[in-house]
Amino acid sequence: MIRNVILSGLLFASLAACGDDGNNMDTPDANTSMPDTPDGGGEVRVNDNITQSTTWLAKNTYILPRLKQVFVEPGATLTIEPGTVIKGEQGSVLVITRGAKIMAEGTKDKPIVLTSSQPTGQKAGGWWGGLLVLGAAPHNTNKSTGSDEATFEAFTSAIPEGKFGGTNAADNSGVIKYVRIEFAGFNYVADREFNNFTLCGVGSGTTIDYVQLHGGSDDGIEFFGGTVNVKHIVSSQNQDDGFDTDNGWQGKGQFIIVQNISHPASLPEASNGYESDNHATAASYAQDPRTEPTIYNATLIGDHPYAGVASFAGVFRRGTGGHYFNHIFYGFPKGPEFRDPETKAQLDAGKLEFRNSMFFGNDATATNLPPAQASGDIDESAYLTSARNIQFNVDPGLTAGALSKAAPDFKPAAAAAALTGGATPPNDGFFDTSATFIGAVGTEDWTAGWTAYPQN
């Protein structure tokens, strides 16, 4: 969800009402964590910020206390061993500050899991705040005022740990690999929720690969500017947008899965595949640096019968750009929508484009495109054409397993139409140039062995 303002209020307005100062007061000593036990591990309550380099061990389970924002302070590195489990109590959040690093490098067999503290089978999205990474790369949040810096909306400007952004496009916030983040999206102020995974001004020196965002109450992943590149992302069954980009994100992405199929009809928000904005303020829709990612090989799956707020395969607005290749948009209530003159200018300039992609089962018509807007409509069909190798109403060959909640299978059937016809990704050292299929998964299922889809 795009944020229209940067809050200057306190994080967690409910603290005063709860009589809690941000540390969990249910323990005998709120400033003391349980030490590692000599017989092989135990629960460790993380009651204090991390001010020096620290390693979390797989033998322990780490608890983020209720309403506690745990900051990894500038200069410190948090290393997390493969197989480690971190549990967030209600309203907690783990924050990697600008100038700090996280080295969370799991493995296929031993992914790192950040999840809700609720019992298995009773976990609900929005219980805790997930993982927030703040970097020093460019963004456009306050660029109109001449500032390269902003404060993340959850914190006051007096909290230095809440600041992000700068001029270092190659900034390095560490490694996040083979990591699952589940059931986050804590709503600390109305319409100001955390996501499962939030990246603010994160630089291209950071490695993000094989990361799943599951069951959250807000976006699966959201970028506020930055230049970070991401690969092998699974955003599954989150209650808002699957992949949200704002404020000048200019990174790259490849092998992206969005599966939006877990929403009750009463959910009061749209559940789009992509939501992409350049800037929330109308006067700054054209502000540089412009949101303009390059993304190859993505599969976005909607919940076609969803009867809540109108939901689209993608919403592209507020002056955004982007280059989208080898995509499957499948089963959303409505097809992709482009909005406002600043975004049309990006389309006309080739700064927002879609190529070698398939649209199937979106909306109720063969066009897979939404109806005209009441005013200022952009004709999507003028930019989504066969000349750009766009295919409408051609079945990409996903199996019924792609719609499963508990055990999805995103690999197309043998001889599926999506297995051919993709563009060759750039040979720039980041993209896998062999991925000339359409969609996130070809003949090998890279999601197997490390992802999980727990239900509540």
Q: Parse the chain into domains and list their residue ranges.
A: 14-419
- Closest residue by Cα to residue 245 from 256, 237, 236: 256
pLDDT at res. 266: 64
* Interacting residues of 153 by C-beta distance below 8 A, sequence separation 6+: 3, 5, 6, 7, 192
Give the containing element (helix H, strand E) for 208: strand 207-214
What is residue 192's predicted lDDT score, i.e. its pLDDT?
64
The two three-digit tokens of residue 25, written as one number: 């007061």
Per-residue pLDDT of the chain (456 residues; tens, 9 = 90+): 443 333 333 344 333 333 333 333 333 333 334 444 445 789 999 999 999 999 999 999 999 999 999 999 999 999 999 999 999 999 999 999 999 999 999 999 999 999 999 999 999 999 999 999 999 999 999 999 999 999 998 777 778 899 999 999 999 999 999 999 999 998 766 656 789 999 999 999 999 999 999 999 999 999 999 999 999 999 999 989 999 999 999 999 999 999 998 667 667 778 899 999 999 999 999 999 999 999 999 999 998 888 778 899 999 999 999 999 999 999 999 999 999 999 999 999 999 999 999 999 998 778 899 888 888 899 999 999 999 999 999 999 999 999 999 999 999 999 999 999 999 999 999 999 999 999 999 999 999 999 999 998
The SS3 assignment for 341 reads helix
Nearest-angstrom CA–CA distance, 201 and 100: 13
Q: How many residues does the chain have?
A: 456
Structure tokens at 307: 């009867």
Spatial separation of the C-alpha atoms in residues 58 and 79, rounded to whole Å: 11
Place of tokens 């829709």: 285
What pLDDT was estimated at residue 371? 86
* Longest CA span, the chain: 68
For residue 23, the Cα-to-chain-centroid distance in whole angstroms is 27
pLDDT the model gives residue 26: 34
Tell me how far apart the alpha carbons of residues 106 and 293 are, in angstroms, rounded to a whole number: 26
76: how many CB neighbours lie within 10 A of its CB?
19
The 3-class SS string of 385-398 reads CHHHCEEECCCCCC
pLDDT in the model for residue 433: 98
Q: Which residues of 192-201 are buried (b: 16+ CB within 10 A; e: fewer)?
A: bbbbbbbbbb
Write down the pLDDT at residue 191: 57
pTM for the model stands at: 0.92
Residue whose structure tokens are 């899991």: 113
Whether the Cβ atoms of residue 205 and residue 170 lie closer than 8 Å to each other: yes
Residue 403 — left, alpha, or beta (φ > 0 → left; ψ -120 to 50 → alpha)? Answer: alpha
Task: Round to whole Å and give the CA distance between 314 and 175.
Answer: 29
